[in-house]
């Protein structure tokens, strides 16, 4: 048969191994590892899911070669831990049984080793080792790494490589980017040594070359070695793309695949992990440039998740393979769906940083649009329904749609009714915002999933007690959502006021001067969108800060965008709206007029409790999910909808 994406699904020879396609999983860490550094069954299931979904290569992330000096996070896989081998072997087997190449990423944190580096507020005096003496912002003292330690670590890389090969892994990924040890030595900003490991570019690359030689000696000539490098450091005094190209040329004869990322440890998170505000594929040009100068295959990253874009990247010869991280959390089956020509079924990553923000907040790894992530192991044991039931779902927002899909897959008869003429619930208000189109596309993807799983979708149908009585479901799931909070201030019903939920309506007219009342994430994103359209946008918030409801990874990026594009006024409370704009009161009660042609009301949502209470006694069993319980993010809606269905 003729493939829709023939280049993307052509085999790739790397060393003496053939990848089944050109889609590689990025090395992603999983927090469920023992304090000693051992992989758990939960961790093995996390990595296995990407193999089951069709990725050609699945690496386990940041295996530390010397735990005493090199842990990059508070929880790492530690290759020198005494009993680490069984967990490694189980994980390698779990990946390989689905036809993927099992790879292990070797790493050392260097000067940024130590869990306390995650918390910049701590004043730490522990001794760390880096290429040169230094003191970090949090007070951590860095000592110049002695030659004896350098030689010891080179040996440790070789020992770690031998161990993961023994465990059954089929490839090594050497991490020489993102600000960890090997990049620190290569960086002129960090490496001020005057011996053979410092000074010239060749000297600064020496440690990486010695490590590669040690790994090759440990694994033999036919074992594939991949290296991950950063194309730029994005901070003062750091190296640039031309230096990275020289590094690639130096390692070309020692590796079998070169993966080109970008960024370092400090100040470049949004460069390495591209946010929703920039086009996808924005990092591919780095890898494409490196490829012009080397003989070995080159792989690119860049927030990729569209098979059409990835096909063009491969077909045009820019690179030989693409590396996906967040995209394979949102939909681990992306490769399988694309191979089968079912790309419209792919659940696209929103680039909302829930996966990374949650890890900062609680240590968990989750995904806003995939309720399985972080729960892969337990999901293998989800019970099938003992008796199929008739399930009626009131509401076609994200919670209702996910509940319908999961319930239908378990064999229940599912009817979903949506009062409006279209699905999506609160997500529909994002339609006009270009950087939120992945969220809008989520609606059509879930609609297709419901169709494929046999859900009976009835649009323009309000669920009433009478309708419930006529359908006679065994279970009624109430997912009717929320409604905007309208503050009771004079002029709020004026023609120059637009509720944020209606921002995307075709009939909505927005003037040149816009004031957004409400500095939550919704209001801030609306202001950024309007500013990008060329309008003068101001955000007004009565609290001291804005976007406080955004996660820890998304908020700094939002604040940076606001700083560049939007005027932000905090400590002001809207008191009335006039033809001239929004009148506010400061903390002292003084009035301030913010001139505006249009005021966007974005002060929050409240659950539709009156609708819920009218349906509570309509069916034998009633379940409430989504914003009608408490307005939250799509993360909670998807999660609750899925697990409510598992309870039926």
CA angle 600, 605, 609 (to 5 degrees): 145
The dotted CATH code for 497-603 is 3.50.50.60
- Residue 593 has phi, psi (to 5 degrees) of -95, 125
Q: Which residue in the block uniquely carries the two structure tokens 């191979």? A: 339
Dist CA 492 CA 568 (whole Å): 21
| Segment holding 514, helix H or strand E | strand 513-517
For residue 404, give both structure tokens.
């319908």
Q: Which residues pair with 175 in a beta bridge?
A: 228
pLDDT at 124: 45
DSSP 273-285: S--TTS-TTTTHH
Burial of 142 (0-12, 13-18, 19+ CB in 10 A): buried
- 3-class secondary-structure state, position 401: helix
Q: Which residue in the block uniquely carries the two structure tokens 């910049």? A: 120
| Segment holding 226, helix H or strand E | strand 225-230
Low-confidence ranges of the chain (pLDDT < 70): 115-126
| Segment holding 449, helix H or strand E | helix 437-452
Dist CA 379 CA 41 (whole Å): 12
For residue 331, give both structure tokens.
């939909």
Pairing outcome for strands 298-300 and 390-394:
unpaired
Residue 145 DSSP one-character state: P
Domain range 12-378, CATH class: alpha beta
pLDDT at 121: 46
The answer to whether the beta carbons of residues 206 and 291 sit under 8 Å apart is: no
Dist CA 403 CA 408 (whole Å): 8
Q: CATH: 3.30.980.20, 3.40.50.720, 3.30.70.1060, 2.60.120.10. Which one for 383-484+607-646?
A: 3.40.50.720
- 3-class secondary-structure state, position 186: helix
The answer to whether the beta carbons of residues 483 and 404 sit under 8 Å apart is: no
Closest Cα partner for 150 from 182, 190, 115? 182
Dist CA 554 CA 633 (whole Å): 13
For residue 71, give both structure tokens.
């842990």
Residue spans in the chain of domains classed CATH 3.40.50.720: 383-484+607-646
Dist CA 564 CA 490 (whole Å): 32
Dist CA 117 CA 97 (whole Å): 37
The answer to whether the beta carbons of residues 128 and 143 sit under 8 Å apart is: yes
- Residue 122 has phi, psi (to 5 degrees) of -80, 140
The answer to whether the beta carbons of residues 405 and 446 sit under 8 Å apart is: yes
CA dihedral of 640, 625, 442, 419, whole degrees rounded to 10: 170
* Percent of the chain topping pLDDT 90: 90
The answer to whether the beta carbons of residues 275 and 353 sit under 8 Å apart is: yes
CA-CA distances (angstroms) from residue 627 to 15, 426, 440?
Answer: 52, 9, 18
Under 8 Å CB-to-CB from 615, ≥6 apart: which residues?
394, 463, 464, 465, 468, 476, 478, 622
DSSP 87-115: HHHHHHHHHHTTTPEEEEEEE--GGG-SG
- Cα 37 from chain centroid? 24
Dist CA 264 CA 581 (whole Å): 45
Query: For the CA atoms of the chain, what is the radius of gyration?
Result: 27
Dist CA 461 CA 423 (whole Å): 11
347-371, pLDDT tens digit by residue?
999 999 999 999 888 888 999 999 9
The predicted model scores a pTM of 0.94
Dist CA 169 CA 480 (whole Å): 48
The distance in angstroms from the start CA to the end CA of the chain is: 41
CA dihedral of 214, 219, 224, 229, whole degrees rounded to 10: -30
Dist CA 538 CA 643 (whole Å): 40
pLDDT at 126: 58
């Amino acid at each position: 048969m003729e493939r829709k994406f023939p280049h993307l699904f052509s085999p790739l020879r790397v060393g003496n191994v053939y990848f089944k396609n050109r889609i590689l999983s990025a090395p992603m860490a999983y927090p469920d590892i023992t304090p000693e550094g051992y992989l758990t069954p939960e961790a093995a299931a996390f990595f296995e899911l990407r193999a089951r979904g069709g990725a050609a290569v699945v690496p386990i992330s940041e295996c530390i070669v010397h735990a005493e000096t090199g842990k990059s996070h508070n929880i790492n896989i530690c290759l020198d831990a005494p009993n680490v081998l069984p967990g490694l072997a189980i994980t390698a087997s779990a990946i390989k049984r689905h036809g993927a190449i099992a790879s292990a990423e070797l790493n050392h944190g260097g000067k940024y080793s130590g869990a306390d580096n995650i918390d910049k507020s701590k004043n730490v005096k522990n001794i760390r080792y880096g290429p040169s003496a230094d003191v970090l912002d949090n007070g951590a003292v860095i000592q110049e790494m002695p030659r004896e330690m350098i030689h010891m670590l080179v040996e440790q890389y070789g020992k770690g490589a031998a161990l993961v090969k023994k465990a059954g892994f089929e490839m090594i990924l050497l991490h020489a980017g993102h600000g960890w040890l090997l990049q620190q030595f290569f960086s002129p900003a960090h490496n001020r040594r005057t011996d053979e490991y410092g000074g010239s570019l060749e000297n600064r690359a020496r440690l990486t070359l010695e490590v590669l030689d040690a790994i090759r000696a440990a694994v033999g000539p036919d074992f594939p070695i991949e290296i991950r490098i950063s194309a730029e450091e994005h901070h003062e005094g750091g190296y640039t793309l031309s230096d990275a190209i020289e590094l690639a040329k130096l390692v070309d004869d020692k590796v079998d695949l070169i993966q080109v990322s970008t960024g370092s440890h400090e100040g470049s998170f949004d460069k390495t992990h591209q946010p929703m505000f920039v086009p996808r594929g924005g990092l591919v040009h780095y890898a494409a440039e490196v490829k012009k100068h080397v003989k070995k295959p080159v792989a690119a990253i860049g927030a990729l998740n569209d098979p059409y874009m990835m096909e063009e990247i491969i077909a045009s010869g820019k690179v030989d393979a693409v590396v996906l991280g967040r995209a394979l959390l949102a939909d681990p089956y992306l490769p399988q769906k694309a191979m089968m020509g079912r790309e419209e079924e792919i659940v696209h990553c929103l680039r909302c940083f829930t996966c990374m923000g949650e890890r900062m907040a609680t240590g968990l790894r989750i995904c806003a649009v995939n309720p399985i992530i972080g729960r892969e192991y337990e999901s293998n044991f989800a019970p099938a329904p003992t008796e199929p039931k008739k399930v009626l779902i009131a509401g076609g927002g994200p919670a209702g749609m996910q509940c319908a899909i999961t319930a239908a897959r378990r064999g229940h008869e599912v009817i979903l009714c949506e009062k409006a003429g279209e699905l999506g619930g609160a997500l529909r208000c994002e339609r006009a915002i270009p950087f939120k189109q992945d969220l809008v596309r989520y609606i059509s993807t879930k609609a297709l999933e419901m169709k494929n799983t046999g859900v009976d979708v009835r649009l323009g149908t309000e669920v009433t007690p009478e309708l419930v009585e006529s359908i006679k479901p065994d279970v009624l799931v109430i997912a009717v959502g929320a409604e905007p909070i309208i503050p009771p201030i004079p002029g709020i019903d004026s023609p120059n006021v637009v509720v944020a939920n209606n921002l995307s309506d075709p009939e909505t007219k927005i003037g040149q001067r816009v004031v957004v009342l409400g500095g939550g994430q919704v209001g801030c994103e609306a202001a950024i969108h309007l500013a990008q359209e060329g309008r003068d946008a101001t955000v007004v918030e009565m609290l001291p800060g804005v976007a406080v409801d955004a996660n820890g990874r998304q908020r700094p990026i939002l604040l940076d965008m606001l700083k560049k594009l939007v005027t932000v006024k905090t400590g002001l409370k809207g008191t009335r709206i006039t033809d001239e704009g929004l009148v506010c009161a400061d903390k002292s009660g003084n009035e301030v007029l913010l001139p505006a042609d249009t005021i966007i009301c974005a002060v929050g949502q409240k659950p539709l409790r009156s609708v819920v209470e009218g349906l509570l006694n309509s069916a034998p069993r009633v379940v409430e999910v989504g914003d009608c319980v408490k307005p939250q993010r799509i993360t909670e809606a998807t999660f609750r909808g899925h697990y409510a269905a598992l309870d039926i």
